[in-house]
Chains A and B, each alone.
Chain A
Amino acid sequence: QLTPSSFLRIGQLSNVDLNEDIHELETELPRQRPNEIPHNEKLLSLKYESLDYDNSENQLFLEEERRINHAAFRTVEIKRWVICAMIGILTGLVACFIDIVVENLAGLKYRVVKDNIDKFTAKGGLSFSLLLWATLNASVVMVGSVIVAFIEPVAAGSGIPQIKCYLNGVKIPHVVRLKTLVIKVCGVILSVVGGLAVGKEGPMIHSGSVIAAGISQGRSTSLKRDFKIFEYFRRDTEKRDFVSAGAAAGVSAAFGAPVGGVLFSLEEGASFWNQFLTWRIFFASMISTFTLNSVLSVYHGNAWDLSSPGLINFGRFDSEKMGYTIQEIPIFIFMGVVGGILGALFNALNYWLTMFRIRYIHRPCLQVVEAMLVAAVTATVGFVMIYCSRDCQPIQGSSVAYPLQLFCADGEYNSMATAFFNTPEKSVVNLFHDPPGSYNPMTLGMFTLMYFFLACWTYGLTVSAGVFIPSLLIGAAWGRLFGISLSYLTKGSIWADPGKYALMGAAAQLGGIVRMTLSLTVIMMEATGNVTYGFPIMLVLMTAKIVGDYFVEGLYDMHIQLQSVPFLHWEAPVTSHSLTAREVMSTPVTCLRRIERVGTVVDILSDTSSNHNGFPVVESNPDTTQVAGLRGLILRSQLIVLLKHKVFVERANLNLVQRRLKLKDFRDAYPRFPPIQSIHVSQDERECMIDLSEFMNPSPYTVPQEASLPRVFKLFRALGLRHLVVVDNRNEVVGMVTRKDLARYRLGKEGLEELSLAQT
């Protein structure tokens, strides 16, 4: 007797008749209360649709293509380049804005707190300073969290998981809207000024993508202005390509790494990659970093100095001063192992925390309160560590902007305060480049420990914030500790320069947490400005990924799974060849006839029990010998436009239609198509007939029933499809494969497992 495993068929009854060979069965739905389970990561949500990346080549499209001549195509090509340039410039400007505002506001806050502490050190009453610092932090973060939680929740987090999903082809609601951009930029400024253990580089990628999606359409749906340009690009295909360029421009502005940005887009969105797209993306990222560089140089007073290509600048790593030898490679690999283990620990802790947050802290007010508490605790931890630290060091030059004397002798400053009162970016650069002996190991160790837990706690809050810089800082701190202990053990051998180990530690920790290999290697290579460091960095990142993947997956992938997004990986799970399209598809399929009654169409679209978006179109009047073969595929959005413009057969016959429907009408309604409830169809009109032949896609991709799952997966993923029709040998529709059907198969710990669908 076969017993259904607990991983499959949760809450389903199925009748299995072992004596029949292939027997079509319908499941019996238990008509009790719907099955409810607490949230876990083995679910897929129904609210995520796919993007319409595949073009609908209906007659209207073919007519338009025939009308455009060669010169017009060249204009389209030039427009693409112009859009990419504009994406680069605007992304650079937004990055500048964030950087300048953060510098000024954070400087203001540090000055206020420092003056207060200085005043109260002599007089006594330092607890007031602590209260002031905690209150300042909490209030700034409260504003930042309120705008995210109440106005636009999709702007929470770093934005990289959402953009990864978008490039994968999943339509995350509201992810590339103007409101999201504004909330994201304000949110990240407020989070960093509020003193949270976060970075501002991750949100740049999201911002770049929104800018790209906005500019490439030539209009703003939120502001209701149409500039009547770039109308050719108003479809998902073009928009997704431009979003790839925007993401690359964001990476490039964040790290000063244009090639790293291109590779990031390549690694994440591998559908339909071609040379022209790569070239345009590279163009956008170069312009982005150049814009950022020149504007920041002008702002800092040395125009054309061009020394800050990204929001974070790792400083020069000279091969002479900080070279490495081949004996150090095994040490670096060991550091990669450590980074992988620590990264897996970070991810595991964050997983439990996020699960708790999703299950219990789902009301917006609770999320805001949590963010405020984290900000207050960050301030308290910082203050207590500064208070208890007796490590005083004389200040060399002006490397610290806000030195805090506290209980040190005059002329010396509290070195724990230099770690906490600096922005994290400056701390990272200091850890890389300070001469040996600048840091007390005890101070550094305590700081690493505290910051690790703070960063783990902070990621996942309802604020806009990234995780790159905290990981780099944690890694640089323990890497430097490692280098210091190494030079102590080898009694001051010259090659144990702690700055170099700080760099490797930072790479190891970041690789252990986010598990990006190719793009991260190139980003760090470009950020350090030295190609010779590429080889050890690559080894370290690969080691960290291998070790970390053994325990837990990367942070972004984990969050994507926790949000129940139907994410398709690069390939189908390896043991799935025995599954065929027949078992994977959804059936029965709601089909439409080629000439269909309006009433039927309206009823099908208004059906709330199933939210279909694609309908196969079958032959209209089959007699007994002729089969109702597949003729095409039509989308819900197209049907809605047809209903809105009342393109009925009877009306055309009566010449009531002023003009023929053109592709422009479909493009104007994109991307926010009206819902079916807003379309009014009278009783008489319900009896009219609608002819779908002109508007349907006459050549939809199909697969036969016996195609294996990997084959279906490859077709679906490589072409970026949304619907794949499964036909039998008589070209009759037997089922439909959508993203959810494919994404539910995953390679788990014990083999192939199937995820369940849930309403979220």
Chain B
Amino acid sequence: PELEPECRSLLAAFAEGSAALTGCLGRRARPVRLCQGCHGHYRHLLAQYGSIARAVGNSSESHNCAKSILTSDRLQIVVTLSEFFNETWEAANCANCLKNNSEGLSNSTEEFLDLFNKSLTCFEHNLQGQTMSPNNYTEVCKNCNETYTKLNDLYNHLQRMNRQGGESGHSAHLCIDVEDAMNITRKLWSRTFECSLPCSDTVPVIAVSSFILFLPIVFYLSSFLHSKQKKRILILPKRIQSNASLVNIQEKYS
């Protein structure tokens, strides 16, 4: 009825690891920093689960922890927990911004986060001088434009690389930290500061489109006036005309 002592220790270690990872995920939920902050915990948990699953032992029944912990009951909590963490990690696609051995952030991610922090500092810096007119963000737009454009270009570049890298079996998204950071910056830039591109060029567009739309009218009018209308030459059929048939068809008209 009770577990083996080794299996019990493995289970306790797993429980502690899960609690730590859950706490980390919860703390770093908004703004999303979980790939950066929790990858250590996740790796640790993976290792613990692995040691449970692998603990088959040297063909001795008493060391079969996998069976006794994982599959002994209907609920299978350990398996459920492990699956939950795996799925969340996959959905976040943290593998995208970590290095291959999952021991730290990759170079491109570091670069991105660096630029991100620069943008935020730039925003703060320029906002501090906004005591007079709190809704006028032209200063921010002007000064931080370069940084923001660099950030945006880097993000698009990362997205393109990701799409090329794997099409089948690979998520189309970047890792959630990067995506969320970009989303926040974009919302600030476009919604709060309203620094988006202005709608320019209205007059030439209207001119060109009216010209193109006017051409068919000219075409149809000129063909109506100049073309010879297609006429059909009637052929008279060779038939017997009898008054009986005239009467028959005539009756239908009356």
Stretch at the interface among A5-13, A435-443, A629-637, A680-688: A5-13
Q: How far is the CA of A587 from the CA of B237 in the complex (A)?
A: 9
A8 and B249 contacting across the interface, CB-CB below 8 Å: yes
Asked if A397 lies at the interface with its beta carbon under 8 angstroms from chain B, I say yes
Residues of A near B223 (CB, < 8 A) are: 360-361, 366
Q: Which of A36, A366, A757 contacts B231 (CB 8 A)?
A: A36
* CB 8 Å contact bits of A360-378 with B (1 = contact, 0 = none): 1111001001100110110
Residues of B near A408 (CB, < 8 A) are: 196
Residues of B near A360 (CB, < 8 A) are: 223-224, 227, 229-230
B152 and A23 contacting across the interface, CB-CB below 8 Å: no
Known: A16-B241, A134-B212, A360-B223. A39 touches B205 (CB 8 A): no
Nearest CB on A from B75, distance (A): 28
Give chain A interface residues in 397-438, CB to chain B under 8 Å. 397-398, 407-411
* CB 8 Å contact bits of B172-207 with A (1 = contact, 0 = none): 100000000011001001110000111111001101
Q: How far is the CA of A11 from the CA of B172 in the complex (A)?
A: 73
Give chain A interface residues in 695-752, CB to chain B under 8 Å. 735, 741, 750-752
Residues of A near B172 (CB, < 8 A) are: 397-398
Q: How far is the CA of A376 from the CA of B218 in the complex (A)?
A: 14
Instruction: Identify the closest chain A residue to B196 (Cβ).
Output: A409
Q: How far is the CA of A417 from the CA of B1 in the complex (A)?
A: 66
Q: How many residues of B contact A (CB 8 A)?
A: 53
A410 and B233 contacting across the interface, CB-CB below 8 Å: no
B230 and A411 contacting across the interface, CB-CB below 8 Å: no
Residues of B near A5 (CB, < 8 A) are: 249-250, 253
A37 and B239 contacting across the interface, CB-CB below 8 Å: no
Instruction: Identify the closest chain B residue to A125 (Cβ).
Output: B201
Instruction: Identify the closest chain A residue to B246 (Cβ).
Output: A2
Asked if A358 lies at the interface with its beta carbon under 8 angstroms from chain B, I say yes
Instruction: Identify the closest chain A residue to B189 (Cβ).
Output: A410
Nearest CB on B from A410, distance (A): 5
* CB 8 Å contact bits of B207-219 with A (1 = contact, 0 = none): 1110011011001
Instruction: Identify the closest chain B residue to A369 (Cβ).
Output: B219
Q: How far is the CA of A638 from the CA of B246 in the complex (A)?
A: 38
B191 and A586 contacting across the interface, CB-CB below 8 Å: no
Known: A384-B209, A407-B196. A39 touches B241 (CB 8 A): no
A752 and B208 contacting across the interface, CB-CB below 8 Å: no
Asked if A678 lies at the interface with its beta carbon under 8 angstroms from chain B, I say no
Asked if A583 lies at the interface with its beta carbon under 8 angstroms from chain B, I say yes
Residues of A near B230 (CB, < 8 A) are: 38-39, 358-360, 362
Known: A18-B243, A27-B241, A301-B168. A11 touches B234 (CB 8 A): yes
Q: How far is the CA of A276 from the CA of B223 in the complex (A)?
A: 52
Residues of A near B212 (CB, < 8 A) are: 130, 134, 376-377, 380
Q: Which of B219, B224, B233 contacts A373 (CB 8 A)?
A: B219
Asked if B72 lies at the interface with its beta carbon under 8 angstroms from chain A, I say no
Asked if B248 lies at the interface with its beta carbon under 8 angstroms from chain A, I say yes
Asked if B238 lies at the interface with its beta carbon under 8 angstroms from chain A, I say yes
A374 and B231 contacting across the interface, CB-CB below 8 Å: no
Nearest CB on A from B174, distance (A): 12
Asked if A474 lies at the interface with its beta carbon under 8 angstroms from chain B, I say no
Asked if A126 lies at the interface with its beta carbon under 8 angstroms from chain B, I say yes
Q: Which of B196, B219, B234, B242 contacts A37 (CB 8 A)?
A: B234
Give chain B interface residues in 56-102, CB to chain A under 8 Å. none
Nearest CB on A from B243, distance (A): 5
Q: How far is the CA of A362 from the CA of B247 in the complex (A)?
A: 40
Q: How far is the CA of A407 from the CA of B172 in the complex (A)?
A: 25
Asked if A579 lies at the interface with its beta carbon under 8 angstroms from chain B, I say yes
Q: How far is the CA of A735 from the CA of B238 in the complex (A)?
A: 10
Known: A37-B232, A410-B152. A582 touches B240 (CB 8 A): yes
Q: How far is the CA of A370 from the CA of B219 in the complex (A)?
A: 8
Asked if B132 lies at the interface with its beta carbon under 8 angstroms from chain A, I say no
Q: Which of B198, B216, B229, B241 contacts A377 (CB 8 A)?
A: B216
Instruction: Identify the closest chain A residue to B245 (Cβ).
Output: A583
B234 and A2 contacting across the interface, CB-CB below 8 Å: no
Q: Which of B183, B215, B220 contacts A411 (CB 8 A)?
A: B183
Nearest CB on B from A117, distance (A): 11
Q: How far is the CA of A125 from the CA of B202 in the complex (A)?
A: 9
Asked if A327 lies at the interface with its beta carbon under 8 angstroms from chain B, I say no
Nearest CB on A from B181, distance (A): 12
Residues of B near A29 (CB, < 8 A) are: 236
Instruction: Identify the closest chain B residue to A586 (Cβ).
Output: B238
Asked if A17 lies at the interface with its beta carbon under 8 angstroms from chain B, I say yes
Give chain A interface residues in 1-54, CB to chain B under 8 Å. 2, 4-5, 7-8, 10-12, 14, 16-18, 20, 22-25, 27, 29, 34-39, 43, 46
Asked if A387 lies at the interface with its beta carbon under 8 angstroms from chain B, I say yes
Asked if A639 lies at the interface with its beta carbon under 8 angstroms from chain B, I say no
Asked if A215 lies at the interface with its beta carbon under 8 angstroms from chain B, I say no
Give chain A interface residues in 73-132, CB to chain B under 8 Å. 121-122, 124-127, 130-131
Q: How far is the CA of A29 from the CA of B224 in the complex (A)?
A: 33
Known: A575-B252, A752-B252. A127 touches B236 (CB 8 A): no
B189 and A359 contacting across the interface, CB-CB below 8 Å: no
6 contacts between A and B (CB under 8 A): A5-B253, A125-B204, A360-B227, A361-B227, A383-B209, A410-B196
Residues of B within 8 A of A (CB): 152, 168, 172, 182-183, 186, 189-191, 196-201, 204-205, 207-209, 212-213, 215-216, 219-220, 223-224, 227, 229-250, 252-253
Across the A-B interface, give the 4 residue pairs with the lowest CB-CB distance, nearest first.
A409-B190, A751-B252, A127-B204, A758-B232
Extra inter-chain contacts (7) besides given A127-B201, A752-B252, CB under 8 Å:
A23-B242, A359-B230, A360-B230, A383-B209, A579-B245, A585-B239, A759-B234
